[in-house]
Amino acid sequence: MTGSEQPAFSEVKFHHSSSLPDVLIGAGCSLLLSTYQAGQLAAVGVHEGTIRFSFHQVDRAMGVAVGRDRIAVGARSQVWHLQDHSEVAPRIEPRGMYDRCFLPRTSTVTGNIQGHELAWGTTRAGDQELWIANTLFSCLATVHPDFSFVPRWRPPFISELAAEDRCHLNGVAMRDGTPAYVSVLAETDDPTGWRSLPKNSGAVLDVLSGAVVTTGLTMPHSPRWYGDQLFVLNSGMGRLERVDLADGSREVVALLPGYARGLAIYRGLAFVGLSRIRETAVFGDVPIAEFHDRLKCGVGIVEVATGKTLATLEFATGVEEIFDVQVVPGARCLTFGSSETGDDAWLVPAVPV
């Protein structure tokens, strides 16, 4: 299957496996993809058996978190909040295409903290709480209206809070509504110290104890807790791996044709973001760099139980890297409020204020 879409920033050409629509329909979800390079949040859904895209411009879009009724997106110096207003979806042209609608409503200014991953947690009162993998300050943080961010946890080897990207803490796995594991590119307390260490210095840490769970990873990203098991992307190897918590060993679940970053696991399927390598200074000596000309940008959908790739989506032009991948359960085809003709959805009270 082939197709093309034309958002404002440039033409995007893509192709996908013929199985992709059926896999998304069977899983009962749509996908959200963020791309730092193109500055877009993209929704991927299905209408009448055809893959459809919706785009929303977000400057330096990074981590994405899907909550019960909202979506948060990390950007250059703020976090954008999109609210579920699916009641307007049937009215957006072409009518009948969309069943879900998330509209940007507010933003929280954080400064450029490089929020690589975002995740919704649950407070003791049962409220949603947004957690950020604050890469610049080497910590996990939450948002607060009175502060740029609230530091809540940092690795035990990080001696102080400083805007120095010491270990490149970039991913967080939630368990029972609270952060359980983080990924780092190196265990170092030096300013940008991870850059001078071997690329296979990456590790996953236990948040509760601060202990190393597994190490020897090549630029890891996106740890995830699913089915009482820990998964992680061994990004520089192009692998989805399962971690044995007893001894720190890892089992390869799937090999993927790209720099693996961004992971959502839902209903037994792993949705993995794939990128081409862009910075030789950072990525030049990782193992997958050897296959630079064959690397893909898009999404691979892997059956976790078997490691089999069930479907793929690949961008041919317009998008060079995927930063994060998230699932929107119960969505067939969602929009961010703009119709195909460019008209926006407007929200006004039913009774004049």
Number of H helices, E strands in the chain: 2, 27
Can you give the pLDDT at residue 179?
98
Contact between 44 and 264 under an 8 Å Cβ cutoff? The reply is: no
Can you give the pLDDT at residue 338?
75
Contacts of 137 (CB under 8 A, 6+ apart): 113, 149, 151, 154, 161, 162, 163
Can you give the pLDDT at residue 14?
87
Angle at CA of residue 66, ends 42 and 256, nearest 5°? 60
Residue spans of the chain under pLDDT 70 = 1-10, 278-285, 339-347, 350-353
- State the residue for tokens 């959502």: 264
pLDDT tens sequence across 92-107: 989 999 999 999 999 9
Can you give the pLDDT at residue 341?
54
Can you give the pLDDT at residue 329?
97
Whole-model pTM: value is 0.92
Element (H, E) at 23: helix 20-27
Measured distance CA(328)–CA(285) in Å, rounded: 35
Contact between 292 and 257 under an 8 Å Cβ cutoff? The reply is: no
Contact between 65 and 119 under an 8 Å Cβ cutoff? The reply is: yes
Contact between 112 and 136 under an 8 Å Cβ cutoff? The reply is: yes
For the chain, the domains span 1-109+323-342, 113-259+282-290
- Helix (H/G/I), strand (E/B), else coil: 171: strand
Can you give the pLDDT at residue 288?
78
**Nearest CA among 311, 307, 308 for reference residue 299:** 311
Whole-number CA gyration radius for the chain:
19
